[in-house]
Amino acid sequence: MKVCWGPDREAAIDRAHRLWANDALPGQLAQTLPRPQDFADAMTLVPREQVAEAIVCGDDPEDHLERVRQYLDAGVDEVYVQQVGTDHEGFFRGWADEVLPQLR
C-alpha cells in the first residue's frame, strides 16, 4: 500500500498527487502507457481528492491503521508499505512508534 506520511495532511495529499497520481488511473491504463509524457498527461485527469482516497496521507496513525486493517480483514498476511515523497525518516519513525505497535 502507498502512503504519504507527513505532519501536514493537505501538503501530503498535494505531494502524493504530484508524485503518484497514476495510482488512481482507471483500469489498466497505468500498465499500457508507453512514454513518461503519456503518464504526465494522464495524471492531469486524476483529481486531487481521488489520490487522497487511494493513498493514505498525513500522520494520523488511525488513518494508516484503518487501511492496513482492511487488508488484514480481507485475509492478507503480508502488507508492504511504500512512502511517497522524501520524508522517509518521518515515515519510518511514525510507523515504528505509532502504527506497528498497534498491529502486534
pLDDT over 90 (residue 12): yes
Please choose, from the candidates 48, 103, 52, the residue with its C-alpha nearest in 3D space to the C-alpha of residue 73: 103
**In the chain, at which residue ranges do the beta strands (DSSP E only) sit?**
2-4, 56-57, 82-83
Domain that residue 18 falls in? 2-103
Distance from chain centroid for Cα 1: 6
Least confident range of 10-14, 27-31, 98-102: 27-31
As for how many domains the chain has, the answer is 1
Question: What mean pLDDT, rounded, does the chain reach?
Answer: 94
- Specify the pTM: 0.89
Single-letter amino acid code for the residue at 76? V
Percent of the chain whose predicted confidence (pLDDT) is above 70:
100
Single-letter amino acid code for the residue at 93? R
